[in-house]
Amino acid sequence: MKQGLALSPILLLLAIPLIFLGNAGAQNAAAQSVPALDKIQNQEELDRVGAALDAALFDSYNHCDLEKFASFMDENVEFYHDQGGVTLGRAALTESVKQNICGKVTRELVPGTLKVYHMKGYGFVEMGVHRFHHPGHDDTEGVGEGQFVHLWQYKDGAWKVTRVISYDHHAAGK
């Protein structure tokens, strides 16, 4: 009996890395549970893929899940912002979100504005309008609005954002 108890902590220590690896794999699988580029058969399916990836990306952004957010970005992502300038690379973009967004800003896609277009042999481009809220401070900081373009590539079994253009930022109309 004592021998079984002595082995339990050892087995638990061995199992902990497996638990975390399994969870990370499940999280990545959930984030990438959309069809591969070559499996998309029509515009309706492409629209669903674009909407699903946009929702998953910005769910991680809004909840400051930086690991998941980074998993959507190509290592060499280029982010162009009309007010913030250029940010190059996944690590720099993720750090920028950590410093400037987490706990301060949430993003909402303006309904009916998302447009998705196929890019042969590459992926798709999505465009739309988004609003930015300042939780608890919308009265003093106001709601912002801007347009965006995201270029998504399907490569090595995963969808990644390779280019972002975020522009025309202004106060949202009431």
Digit-coded pLDDT (tens) for 8-17 = 333 333 333 3
Pairing of strands 123-133, 115-119: antiparallel
Pairing of strands 73-81, 158-171: parallel
Q: Please name every residue paired with 152 in a beta bridge, in sequence order, or none if there are none.
A: 124, 161
Q: Which domains does the chain have, with CATH numbers?
A: 32-171 (3.10.450.50)
Digit-coded pLDDT (tens) for 22-45 = 333 333 444 457 899 999 999 999
- Please give the pLDDT value at position 173: 75
> Between these two residues, 4 and 132, which has the higher pLDDT value?
132
Vertex 133: Cα angle to 24 and 146 (nearest 5): 95
Query: 136 pLDDT band (50/70/90 cuts)?
Result: confident
What counts of helices (H) and strands (E) characterise the chain?
Answer: 5, 7
Per DSSP, the three-state class of 95 is helix
- Tell which residue, 113, 128, 130, has the closest CA to residue 169: 130
Per-residue pLDDT for 140 more than 80? no
User: Where do we find the tokens 């087995």?
Assistant: 11
Global pTM reads 0.80
User: Where do we find the tokens 């930015």?
Assistant: 132
Vertex 153: Cα angle to 148 and 157 (nearest 5): 140
Q: What are the tokens at 173?
A: 């109309």
